[in-house]
Amino acid sequence: SQTIHQWPATLVQPVGSPLSLECTVEGTSNPNLYWYRQAAGRGLQLLFYSVGIGQISSEVPQNLSASRPQDRQFILSSKKLLLSDSGFYLCAWSARSGNTIYFGEGSWLTVV
């Protein structure tokens, strides 16, 4: 069966520091991959999605970036965090032709 894991689960970072959140999917090939953010009191915002290695689409311009160095690995990064980057970050995947998206456990980021 397919599984998705992301880490770290919790992160407290100072303003201006870098960020790296990692996500991997097991048990499938060629998945579509997504990063969402859930800020306090707000809904879910799509940040990036990827349909293949090196193919990244950005939905919201910001100081975050994403990379897909391997088929089942998706990384969310920032060179310098802002206070407004605090939130709950969710990685997700779907099969290339499937209509259901499955989410990871989430990563809590607090920028102080």
Partner 1 sequence: GNSVTQMEGPVTLSEEAFLTINCTYTATGYPSLFWYVQYPGEGLQLLLKATKADDKGSNKGFEATYRKETTSFHLEKGSVQVSDSAVYFCALRDRAGTALIFGKGTTLSVSS
Q: Which residues bind partner 1 (CB under 8 A)?
A: 32, 34, 42-44, 46, 49, 51, 59, 90, 92, 94-106
Nearer to partner 1 by Cβ, of 29 and 99: the residue is 99
- Cβ atoms 18, 80 nearer than 8 A: yes
Residues 6 or more apart whose CB falls under 8 angstroms from that of 108 comprise 9, 10, 11, 88, 89
Least Å distance, CB 16 to partner 1, is 27
Least Å distance, CB 3 to partner 1, is 12
